[in-house]
Structure 1
Amino acid sequence: MAPPKQLFFITGNKNKLAESKAILGDVVDLQCQAIDLVEIQGTIEEISLDKCRRAADAVKGPVLVEDTCLCFNALKELPGPYMYGKSFQYEESEAVGTQGLNDLLAGFPDKSAQAVCTFAYCEGPGHEPIIFQGRTDGKIVPPRGPTNFGWDPIFEYEGKTYAEMEKVEKNKISHRFRALEKLKAWLQEA
């Protein structure tokens, strides 16, 4: 199969789109398309595969979907794939907020966590999606840095929160970078 020259990235999040374009560079023409997709409950992988199939059916062509999770080791990887559900909204104006996410671990000595990004690619309706996943180990800390991109202010990697990092620095170590590097290598080999 020849790699696609253009991919529809199904997201309404401009920050995710900008990071993804910066990391993928000119390997593929990434076009944004916002589609409200139903998300099933399940594992990170099950959710990503199902969402990708639905997106490919809706677009009738090659698509890329992304699911980002924050997994607290003390809570057996919760909130995980439910990070963006109504119970664990990360936005400051919503249910829990970044300070609330930090507070979830107040009674636990283990503050370690994993940032997980799963991209799923499908060449079109009827095709089986392929998963590319990246994980970054870190820890949960009280919010530090700008609050303009999800839970970046509470996820610390080697002494800095994602929010405290310059975009270029974050894009070299993040969970999204690790997943997109796998996708990029696959696209270049295909």
Structure 2
Amino acid sequence: MSTLRFVTTNSGKVQEAASYLDGLRRVEQLDYDYAELQSDDLAAIATHGAREAYRETDDDTPVIVDDAGLFVRGLSGFPGPYSAYVEDTLGIERVWELASDLDDRHAAFRCVVAYTDGDTVETFTGAVQGTMVAPRGDGGFGYDPIFEHDGTTFAEMPTDRKNALSHRGRALATFADWLAERAD
């Protein structure tokens, strides 16, 4: 079975990818700090990262990079692709404060997985719809305590349920389908 490198410092993401790609590819973590493109477009950011990481590897092993964000409709999509920076500088409590007075607290987590084998770059998108709520739950990470899906925040969900619903999981499932089609 051939190998695929997931460019991330998060071993949990690697485990999640391995579960979706089981039988298709062996997934290894590549801890490489690529220069993140500043853009409003998740696909452009992930594509740039995948290309750069692939060029830095010493062989022809394909790589994937993901980029994700929380898009709040009532805040015109903010924080979007800047979600990690906003979380680090403002914190999720301040983001909730911004959203709490909105008439429209609809939000979506979105993710793009970019794949490259050096010759081609393909992107795969996943999203999950929800609502911004006051922080609840002790699990997950990032914005999970303030993102509610079907009455439960991601921080209140067991990891396996969250991964089955998640934006990253949906992008990885689409990617797995694409890989399976190529293998046939």
Query: Which residue of 2 is the match for residue 175 of structure 1?
Result: 167
- If the length of structure 1 is used for normalisation, what is the TM-score? 0.88
Looking at structure 2, the residues matched to 26 and 99 of structure 1 have their Cα atoms a distance apart, in angstroms, of 41
SS of the aligned residue for 2:164 comes to: coil
The answer on whether the counterparts of 2:139 and 2:157 sit within 8 Å (CA) in structure 1 is: no
SS of the aligned residue for 2:127 comes to: strand
Q: In the alignment, residue 45 of structure 1 is paired with which amino acid? A: A
Query: Which residue of 1 is the match for residue 34 of structure 2?
Result: 37
Shift of 1:34: 0.8
SS of the aligned residue for 1:105 comes to: helix
- Where do 1:83-94 residues align within 5 Å? 83-85=83-85, 88=86, 90=87, 94=88
The answer on whether the counterparts of 1:67 and 1:119 sit within 8 Å (CA) in structure 2 is: yes
- If the length of structure 2 is used for normalisation, what is the TM-score? 0.90
Query: Which residue of 2 is the match for residue 101 of structure 1?
Result: 95
Dislocated runs of 4+, deviation >3 Å: none
The answer on whether the counterparts of 2:140 and 2:159 sit within 8 Å (CA) in structure 1 is: no
Q: In the alignment, residue 13 of structure 1 is paired with which amino acid? A: N
Query: Which residue of 2 is the match for residue 156 of structure 1?
Result: 148
- Provide the aligned length of Structure 1 versus Structure 2: 179
- Where do 1:58-137 residues align within 5 Å? 58-59=56-57, 60-61=59-60, 62-85=62-85, 88=86, 90=87, 94-124=88-118, 127-137=119-129
Question: Structure 1 residues 134, 148: CA separation in 2 closer, same or farther (over 3 Å shift)?
Answer: closer
- Where do 1:19-38 residues align within 5 Å? 19-38=16-35
SS of the aligned residue for 1:53 comes to: helix
Query: 1:102-142: CA deviations, max 9, x gaps?
Result: 11213311111010011000002xx2310001011101111
Looking at structure 1, the residues matched to 104 and 92 of structure 2 have their Cα atoms a distance apart, in angstroms, of 18
Shift of 1:148: 4.8
Q: In the alignment, residue 71 of structure 2 is paired with which amino acid? A: C
Unaligned 5+ segments in structure 2 are: none
- Where do 1:8-27 residues align within 5 Å? 8-27=5-24
Query: Which structure is higher in helix share?
Result: 2
Question: Structure 1 residues 175, 133: CA separation in 2 closer, same or farther (over 3 Å shift)?
Answer: same
The answer on whether the counterparts of 1:136 and 1:173 sit within 8 Å (CA) in structure 2 is: yes
SS of the aligned residue for 2:84 comes to: coil
Looking at structure 1, the residues matched to 19 and 154 of structure 2 have their Cα atoms a distance apart, in angstroms, of 16
Selected match of 2:4 from 3, 7, 19:
7
Unaligned 5+ segments in structure 1 are: none
The answer on whether the counterparts of 1:9 and 1:32 sit within 8 Å (CA) in structure 2 is: yes
SS of the aligned residue for 2:172 comes to: helix
Q: Percent identity?
A: 34
The answer on whether the counterparts of 1:23 and 1:171 sit within 8 Å (CA) in structure 2 is: no
